[in-house]
Amino acid sequence: MSPNSVKNLKKKRREDIIYLLIILLIQSFIVIPVILHAPILFSIKALAVSSFLAPLSLVLIELFKDYEELNAPDIGAEGEKEIQAIIKSQLPEYKIVANLWNDDLKGDLDVILIGPLGLFLLEVKKVNSWKEGIIKWESRTSYAAVLLHELVKDKLGINPWVQTAIVFCDKKERRFRSTRNVTILNKFELIHWISESSEKLKEDDIERIYNFLKSINATN
């Protein structure tokens, strides 16, 4: 994620938190006293109060967690550097574009590989908590691959299949292929997965794609 994107997202989270705190204060000092003084059974009062407070409280907790993550050190960058080091040492013929940020791609792409066996998009995860966000990561990576394919095809006239994977760095995970054509694997399986590709790219196409992606990268 680009620095400007992080800054804007942090601002949005702060605004959301302030807004919800105001709503909670209004409920605490106006709505809830009205409910408590209403001529109804106590159990109904308690249910009504909890129905107001519980949902907003849960949302606030999630927003605070998200805000803390945005302010935490970028451990994701460590994972990306680790994956790049593996590729450079074992597949030196592959060109790497890291942290590609472009408005046409709707976000930040962690690692893109361009080489003899095709075009690869890697979403790198340093922390192995995939069960909490795998559907979101799958969807995002799959969508990014489509946008990347369309961009390369429209701008360069090259039509490579973008092979996508979510790569975990911290633990060995059992590999499987999802319904969205995104492969989930660990760093120890990455090189083997790339070597299994049946795609081919010409040397001049590799150079053209690499130079084009470097030229449109807003993080350069």
Dist. CA 23–CA 201, nearest whole Å: 56
Q: What is the pTM of this model?
A: 0.66
Residue 136: predicted pLDDT? 75
Residue type, 36: L
Per mean pLDDT, which of 8-12, 65-69, 75-79, 157-161 is the most reliable? Answer: 157-161
Residue 139: predicted pLDDT? 83
Residue 205: predicted pLDDT? 96
Q: Identify which has the larger pLDDT, 191 or 73.
A: 191
Q: 75-216 has which CATH code?
A: 3.40.1350
Residue 92: predicted pLDDT? 95
Residue 181: predicted pLDDT? 77
Residue 121: predicted pLDDT? 96
Q: Map out the domains of the chain as residue ranges.
A: 3-71, 75-216
How confident is the prediction for the chain on average, in pLDDT?
78
pLDDT tens for residues 14-70?
Answer: 777 777 777 777 766 666 566 566 666 556 666 666 666 666 666 667 666 666 655
Residue 18: predicted pLDDT? 79
46-60, 104-118, 178-192, range with the lowest pLDDT:
46-60
The residues, any chain, with a CB within 8 Å of residue 57's CB and separated by 6 or more, are 24
How many H-runs (helices) and E-runs (strands) does the chain carry?
Answer: 7, 6
**CB-based burial of residue 154 (10 Å sphere; 0-12 exposed, 13-18 middle, 19+ buried)?**
exposed
Dist. CA 48–CA 53, nearest whole Å: 9
In degrees rounded to 5, what are phi and psi of residue 69?
Answer: -65, -40
Structure tokens at 27: 């409920």
Distances in whole angstroms, Cα of residue 159 to Cα of each of 72, 74, 146, 205: 39, 34, 11, 10
β-strand partners of 95: 114
Q: Identify which has the larger pLDDT, 2 or 157.
A: 157
178 pLDDT more than 60: no
Share of the chain above pLDDT 70, in %: 63
* Average pLDDT of the segment spanning 108-124: 93
Structure tokens at 165: 């994977």
9 pLDDT more than 60: yes
What confidence tier does 120 reach under pLDDT thresholds 50, 70, 90? very high
Written as one string, the DSSP assignment of 110-178 is EEEEEETTEEEEEEEESS--HHHHHHHHHHHHHHHHHHHHHHHHHHH-----EEEEEEE-SS----EE-
Dist. CA 60–CA 80, nearest whole Å: 31
* Average pLDDT of the segment spanning 66-85: 71
